[in-house]
Structure 1
Amino acid sequence: MKTKITAFATLFLFVLLMGCSGGDDGGSNCGKVESVTFSTTPVAVTLYFTGGTNANSFKVEYGPTGFRQGTGTSVVTSNTQIEVTGLVPSTTYDFYITGICSDTENSTPYKLSSVTTQASQCTGTTSVQFGQLYPNEIDLQFTYSGGYAEYYEVEYGPVGFTLGTGTKATTSFGTSSKTLTGIQASTTYDFYVRSYCASGEKTPFVKFSYTTMNGCPKPTNLSSWIVSGSCNSGTATRAFSWSYLAGTPQSYTISIVQGATDNPAEGNTFVTSTTGISISNMFCNWRAFYVRANCTGNDSSEWAGPYYF
């Protein structure tokens, strides 16, 4: 009789243990993720998997290979395909994928170990050229030496500003130029620029400095020609013209000199309110001219020239 009781107790314990084990998920109705595959780029890993029974969303936790679960970066998705971005090229990561069935019930995590991102494809150098037609605007022209850049980012501010605290701007997709407005005249700025490559990567920031033109820039595109008469006979009328794209100054001063080393401030000067003037009785010993813009107050531009005629 004692033997029968002992055998019955043993059988009961075995059945009880089998009922509590429930396989890998400890009897949970929240099935474990299965059939995990992946693809990589230099900065991303895309995971593909089959969700377990009753799972309606999934938590993906990742970090460098060997990280302790619970200390990594996590993202929750309702899809069985997810792209994890912002990774580092040529770096190995571990992933834990957990099915979420309810607020209180999760599956056993599936661990995907040692996934290595591709080598960097964005190793070129970024540079920028500056141009100005107006004192309050800067035209930026970007280049990338290592292939194709989809777009560019610039952060700028007064010289010495801390990266991350400046004004940010990006080019449109597929373009390499940007015009910045609201710029202060006669001011030195720092510019940090970088390229975004087709691989999804970005280059490190490269720092440049640029001092903007003053608020009264000098004229451009100087030109001169005989309108009528002859300088040898002292009957010539000569036209002088120039361009000014930075605004409308109050006036312009033109200075006509005999040689390249003459000081334009000591030449024969004339004042006009337009970007051109005709002067009669020109003599042949006049050889060049300069012009400057006269802006508000006593602010005048540098002399533009000489233009030889």
Structure 2
Amino acid sequence: MRVRFHLPDFSGSFKLNLLFAEMLKNRPDFFREGVEIASVYGVFPPCLWNGGRSQGGNTDKNYMKTVIREFNNRGIPLRFTFTNIMLEKKHLSDERCNMMLHLANNGMNEVIVASPILEDYIRKEFPQYKLTSSTCKRLNSKEALMAELEKDYHVVVADYDLNNKFDILEDMPRKKDIELLVNACCQPECQGRLQHYKDISQQQIAFCNHIKKYPNVPFDLEKYDPNHFSACPYSKRSIFDIKELKTHISPEAIWEKYVPMGFEQFKIEGRTASTLNKVETYMYYMAKPELREEARYFLLGMMEDSGALIFT
């Protein structure tokens, strides 16, 4: 049995995810059967190709090398969230994004894509990268998901609105290559989700252009586009809030329904979530229920010893 989890934010949550990987390796008794870290996803900000979630900040080349080395040495791929759906051809030459791909171009790491022009570019210039089809494409019908699975993707992320539509999921080929987003905070059947992804993509481009021109001046989102961009009202939902949503997939359902059906890829969202929420979500999904408190205490102790116990 393989139950493969894709974890959020290799950059901003570098220490947390590294310590969690060490905990999984050294204390497997804390965890449910078959738990693996399939990847840790994210970008090194600022990143013009980033999508799905707005991410600010600034990371240097040495930090990038350290993150890539530490995860890859543990057999864990990085997956770049290059899912900006508003890219133009002129953006393909972005020096920083290309540098990220060059640094991690060792055959182990992966890219999540949503833009056809960026996907074509990566396939041509960086063929060693395995490609994942992003949930940003909003593949929320049986026909759309089936068509995507016929293409040359390593993994296809299904839209979360299909999570509990078992009549559709049962009919899917390549179930082990379908990734399910288990803890979506967005409202089920949200009508504004695709537009929100477009807004985030435009914001990310504006942020990166601003950083290049004015590296010491804070980026003001309201001044960027006060009439168009609207923050998601659901983005701050906690692990406890999302349990009430019909798109929620519980850990019991993973082991009792989805894995027996043939699914093995599960995404935990949370790139912009607090450290506290990430820790609680990891315990909820991957630790044995009867050992969650002990496992949480063990992980927090590791974080405290390493100086990573900062709940932001």
- Greater per-residue helix proportion: 2
- Greater per-residue strand proportion: 1
Larger Rg over CA atoms: 1
Task: Tell me if both proteins adopt one fold, taking TM over 0.5 as the criterion.
Answer: no
